[in-house]
Amino acid sequence: MPYTAELIAVGTELLLGNIANTDAQMLSKGLSALGIHVYYHTVVGDNPERLRAAVEIARRRADILITTGGLGPTCDDLTKTVLAQCFGKELVYNSEAEERCRAFFQSIGREMTDNNHQQFYLPEGATVFQNDWGTAPGCGFEAEGVRVLMLPGPPRECTAMFQHRAVPYLQGLSDGVIVSRTLKLFGIGESGMESLLREKMNAMHNPTLAPYAKEGECELRITAKAESESAARALIAPVEEELRALFGDKIYGADLSSLEEAVLALLKEKGLTMGSAESCTGGLIAKRITDLPGSSAVFRGGVVSYATQVKHTVLGVPEELLEQYGAVSEPVARAMAEGARRVLGCDLAVSTTGVAGPDSDERGNPVGLVYVALATSEGTHVRKLHAGTGRERVRTAAAHNAFDLVRRYCAGLAL
């Protein structure tokens, strides 16, 4: 029997909608990699009674209980107190935690205020998860057949403490491994993809197949459980092969976080450099590729030519083109990409020009109309999109298509 875990996030800011529960996402990924099933996430506010009620329900359903949040210095941070009560533990002072906290404040050039002290009290007998990334230590203990872990709420601290403290603590527990492989698709919709796969998915048990649609992209997640990772991978391989035969070059990669990650790898492989000229995407393409460590090896830079005049002065788009066809046009997209390639001195350059909304442009071009171009040593290709409505949706679709053009060019596929 594999272990089951439940996550309880503590924080009124989650119930007020100030933030999304991204810790639960990160922990769920990590736990499934350990072969631990997560069946429920719960969010409660900074309220002792309701937290206690959530713990009482969760401890009956799960082997492992992981809380996030409520460990910090502010007066509404009460997770340790409530969990200690629920499991009949005293809180004891941990001096190492205090020393590390002082050191942390020095490193960011701030004074440690007194309200930080409550953080250093932890349940008796607990394994302390020291916090090298912030102030509040976490911990793990076993009581009444349940393993309880407490992690800090701030996503950076929660992630680091999970990876460096909680994972080693949990590794002993799991039997067998769950391995997932996620195929990433671009250029097909969820229901279209799923209608091709429904019968197959229903028939499958190990591995299982799950489709998932993200703004403008699709994923197919193959998940297998076995004694060892290699045995699980052996179950996955034939399914992946079938899917690749079925979807062909709509599949742009496996276990990649994004199209730009595929693009970065291809550019490195081919020894090509890239640049961008962005109008409607306003820097999103450059931002997305430079989010990736190592992008400086292939990305030379970009021009965000938001004002029409900048398209002429910086990118050298002829004024006649801008006057005759308007900024949102096939010829201008072409000239922008070619200008960026010349100005930035890169092997290939992408450009975007379109109407992100909320309003149509002065020439009456509708929201969602976007031209995306790729200029290379072999010529320039322009793709015309109707990206629907919604500023973010249009910008995301335009950036996706720019990366898709680069990927297809580097992989020698039809544009």
Q: Taking CB under 8 A as the criterion, which residues in 74-103 touch its own copies? A: 74-76
Amino acid at 141: F
Shortest reach from residue 390's CB to its own copies, in Å: 6
User: Rule CB under 8 A: which of 41-60 touch its own copies?
Assistant: 41-45, 47, 50, 54, 57
Shortest reach from residue 142's CB to its own copies, in Å: 24
* Contact with its own copies (CB under 8 A) among 78, 173, 204, 310: 310
The window from 86-94, 169-177, 209-217, 244-252 that contacts its own copies (CB under 8 A) reads: 209-217
CA 50/CA 56 separation, integer angstroms: 10
Residue with tokens 């393993």: 147
Smaller CB separation from its own copies, 336 or 373: 336
CA 239/CA 212 separation, integer angstroms: 17
Shortest reach from residue 125's CB to its own copies, in Å: 28
Shortest reach from residue 90's CB to its own copies, in Å: 25
Shortest reach from residue 388's CB to its own copies, in Å: 7
The 216-245 contact track toward its own copies, x by CB under 8 A, reads ---x-x-x----------------------
Shortest reach from residue 412's CB to its own copies, in Å: 26
Bridge partners, residue 372, by sequence: 352, 383
The window from 121-129, 213-221, 261-269, 407-415 that contacts its own copies (CB under 8 A) reads: 213-221
Is 134 exposed, middle or buried (CB count within 10 Å of its CB: 0-12, 13-18, 19+)? buried
Assess 296 for contact with its own copies (CB under 8 A): yes
Assess 35 for contact with its own copies (CB under 8 A): no
Smaller CB separation from its own copies, 89 or 357: 357
Assess 203 for contact with its own copies (CB under 8 A): no
Shortest reach from residue 124's CB to its own copies, in Å: 26
CA dist list (Å): 201 to 33, 210, 222, 223: 22, 7, 10, 12
The 372-411 contact track toward its own copies, x by CB under 8 A, reads --------------x-x-xxxx-x----------------
Assess 206 for contact with its own copies (CB under 8 A): no
Shortest reach from residue 40's CB to its own copies, in Å: 6
User: Rule CB under 8 A: which of 134-173 touch its own copies?
Assistant: 135, 154, 156
CA dist list (Å): 378 to 45, 349, 371, 374, 375: 59, 12, 19, 10, 8
Assess 204 for contact with its own copies (CB under 8 A): no
Assess 271 for contact with its own copies (CB under 8 A): no
Q: In 217-293, which ranges are continuous DSSP H helix?
A: 229-247, 259-270, 284-290
To the nearest 10°, report the CA torsion of 25, 28, 29, 30. Answer: 120
Shortest reach from residue 199's CB to its own copies, in Å: 9
Shortest reach from residue 260's CB to its own copies, in Å: 12
Smaller CB separation from its own copies, 207 or 302: 302
Assess 272 for contact with its own copies (CB under 8 A): no
The DSSP output letter for 168 is H
Spell out the residues 6+ positions from residue 55 whose beta carbon is closer than 8 angstroms to its own.
8, 65, 82, 83, 86
Spell out the residues 6+ positions from residue 14 whose beta carbon is closer than 8 angstroms to its own.
20, 21, 43, 45, 69
Cα-based angle 175, 28, 130 (whole degrees, multiple of 5): 85
Q: Which one, of 9, 6, 4, 88, lies nearest residue 50 by Cα?
A: 9
Assess 362 for contact with its own copies (CB under 8 A): no
Q: How many residues make contact with its own copies (CB under 8 A)?
A: 106
Q: Which one, of 360, 414, 350, lies nearest residue 382 by Cα?
A: 350
**Distance separating the N- and C-terminal Cα atoms of the chain:** 49
Asked if residue 405 lies in contact with residue 262, where contact means CB atoms within 8 angstroms, the answer is no
* Contact with its own copies (CB under 8 A) among 69, 70, 72, 138: 72
What's the length of the chain? Answer: 415
